[in-house]
Amino acid sequence: MRTYFHVDMDAFFVSVEELADPSLAGKPVVVGGQANQRGVVSAASYAARKFGVHSAMPLRTAYRLCPQAIFLDGHPEQYRDYSRKVYTVLKRFSPQVEMASVDEAYMDVTGTERLHGPPLRAANSLHTAVKQETGLNCSIGIAAARMVAKVASDQAKPNGVLWVLPGEEARFLAPLDIRKIPGVGKVTEKNLQGWGIRKVGDLATLDSEFLREHFGQWGLALAGKSRGLDAGGWFDGEVGEDSNPKSISHEFTFNEDTAESDTLESTLARLSEMVGRRLREHCLYARTVQLKLRYTDFSTITRAHSLDHATQLDTELFQQVRALFRQNRKANAAIRLLGVHVSGLESGEGQMNLLAEDRTDRWRKALTAVDKMRDRFGENSVSLATGMKGRFRERVHENPAGLPGKTPGEE
């Protein structure tokens, strides 16, 4: 029997902003951008949530619901700094810590009882330590399965600790809405509701074969999750085991649609940098590069190209995605969104000719130095010259580069 913690920081981005500016405390605050911008809410204070504002909501919708809210762009570097502080505290309680994002982590605390006591005592000690050493509140879920621990931390919010005792998982989950199960989005929820399934308990009564027939392998994972088991996606491996992504992507939505080629290509350069940075962070190389392009009327195209060798270099990613862009864009048509996506991730770049290898090695060394500068001075401190015109504010809700424990060689 294993014991897992899921540690979720409470209104993390807002809480960090309040530490920097105590006058924000108790006020409706929205982090993610300005009220008149496109984009979504990254975090909302509890005072703003009373008006119906929540994360992933369009900023303009949040303004309509709570026009008196204070809208902030956010400070990603500060969030990463506090994430590292939290990670340092977590590592004292278990060597098995995996940051799922900048503000949440899974911990395997099995076998730590002699050091920290039984699960509830250990969780309360951790809860206190995080507050004392960072000034931030967190919620902790405890369970024999990571999926249940994640649900429990959500139920414990704000600033609480909840332990789901072994054997009680199904009873704990049964009365909850099916959206509480990690991975169940609006589409799956709608499909399940079409079968009269609204609570996790409703889901648990269905035959696994029925779910497999109607939802494929995801249906089998749902069957396991409804009974409190780790199943599907993130929960297939152990904490820290083969946590590399299957694909990496970054997108940017322009505040105003544009047809200006220099701006569009510069934005693609910046997105390629962001993708390349994360590839190097995971020590991975991409074999396939994909462009995503969305026009003013929301029509969207994706175009992909497979390389003769895998790469993690910003320059090579940009070269390929720019070629796709030039080949496929509608002349003079205004564009709303651009995205760069890579897949076919491998642990090595494969065979190259000698001339290409020499050039690649020079770029590899240069980008390693660039990554170190970004680690020290921030993600926007260095950029390709091509990407200077397209530089944009980092979306704080994205899974960022620089997550604690993800940098090669970092303990």
Give the 3-state secondary structure percentages of the chain, helix then strand then coil, rounded to 5: 45, 20, 35
**Alpha carbon of 350 to those of 283, 287, 343: distances in Å?**
14, 10, 15
Catalytic sites, residue numbers: 104
Name 252's Cβ contacts closer than 8 Å, sequence gap at least 6: 267, 270, 271, 337, 338, 339, 392, 395
Beta-bridged to residue 20, according to DSSP, are none
The letter for the amino acid at 263 is: T
Beta-bridged to residue 249, according to DSSP, are 341
Whether the CB-CB separation of 318 and 269 falls below 8 Å is answered with yes
- Compute the distance between CA of residue 309 and CA of residue 330 in angstroms, rounded to an integer: 29
Element (H, E) at 307: strand 300-311
Would you list the DSSP string of 343-382? Answer: EEEESS-----HHHHHHHHHHHHHHHHHHHHHHHH-TTS-
CA 276 vs. chain centroid, Å, equals 16
The number of C-alpha atoms within 13 Å of 214 and in the hemisphere containing its C-beta is: 13
SS3 294: strand
